[in-house]
Amino acid sequence: MLQKTPAEIVLIKKACEITRDALKLAKSMIKEGISTFDIDKSIEKFIIDSGGSAPCIGYMGYPAASCISVNDTVVHGIPSKDIILKKGDIVSVDIVASYKGYCGDATRTFCVGKVDAEKEKLVRVTKECFFKGIENARVGDRIGKISSAIQHHAESNGFSVVRELTGHGIGKKMHESPEVLNYGKETDGAVIKENMTIAIEPMINAGKKEIYVLPDGWGVKTRDGKPAAHYENTVLFTASGVEVLTLEEDDEYYAKYRPKG
């Protein structure tokens, strides 16, 4: 269902709090020498200890609680003991937490120590794409207004937008209608309705937009081997504006988009 009831929104907000705090934990662990497997196991434990569950585990056979994607892996990197973070890497951590049957979803791309100028700009612009997307989007607009703003900001900064992967509605399921593209025209897509919850997730490549899927059936990499970044939040649209339900309290955008209630 596109529009959520007040009771459903309460549960989604709690799921989003767990998701947000799990990402804080992940951020604290990002350092040279740690494996993505160890980060994932800590995320899983945190979600469970917080009263939630990790619906990614077993989803279409996926083996982990989170997706952790390094450098040229755009999304869906399977955590592994063999993937050890190095100084200069960028690492996207994508987490879904469920609370009493409702989901929250968010992603951040972190830097391991000092990264080169291209990666630093890519991470910054990818986050900016998200906020450009929601800046002028309101109930009654088409989702294409978000999509178009994301594409324009990414491409005006010399980057490209992945076409095959999209954002989505979220609620009882981690993936619901409507589809939220990161490119297109303002007139495209479903109409934004009051009390709609969606996950908006720019996936931006430093080089060309083309991608390919690894033999494991999950990891998605840039075809040209250049880095990619990913930034995602679960968003609630209300009659009075936009609430970003997975946003950190110390984020520069928090005062404007903080969850109400």
Concatenated DSSP letters for 57-105?
TTGGG--SSEEEEETTEEE-PPP-TT-B--TT-EEEEEEEEEETTEEEE
pTM for the whole thing?
Answer: 0.97
CATH number at residue 94: 3.90.230.10
Residue 24 lies in a domain: yes
Q: Is the pLDDT of residue 261 over 90?
A: no
One-letter amino acid identity for 108?
R
Q: What is the mean pLDDT of residues 7-22?
A: 98
196-207 per-position pLDDT tens digit: 999 999 999 999
CA 183 and chain centroid, separation? 16
Using alpha carbons, select from 216, 210, 14 the residue that is nearest to residue 100. 14
- pLDDT for 2 equals 79
Query: Cα-flanking dihedrals φ and ψ of residue 128, to 5°?
Result: -60, -35
Residue 144 lies in a domain: yes
Domains: count for the chain? 1
**Parent domain of 39:** 6-257
Instruction: State the alpha helices, DSSP H only, in the chain.
Output: 6-29, 36-49, 117-135, 144-156, 254-257
- pLDDT for 194 equals 97
95-138 per-position pLDDT tens digit: 999 999 999 999 999 999 999 999 999 999 999 999 999 999 99
The pLDDT confidence band at residue 180, using thresholds 50, 70 and 90, is very high
Q: Is the pLDDT of residue 256 over 80?
A: yes
- pLDDT for 79 equals 98
Residue 1 lies in a domain: no
* 260 secondary structure, DSSP code: P
Residue 165 lies in a domain: yes
**In this structure, is the dihedral angle defined by the CA atoms of residues 223, 90, 198 and 63, taken in order, positive or negative?**
positive
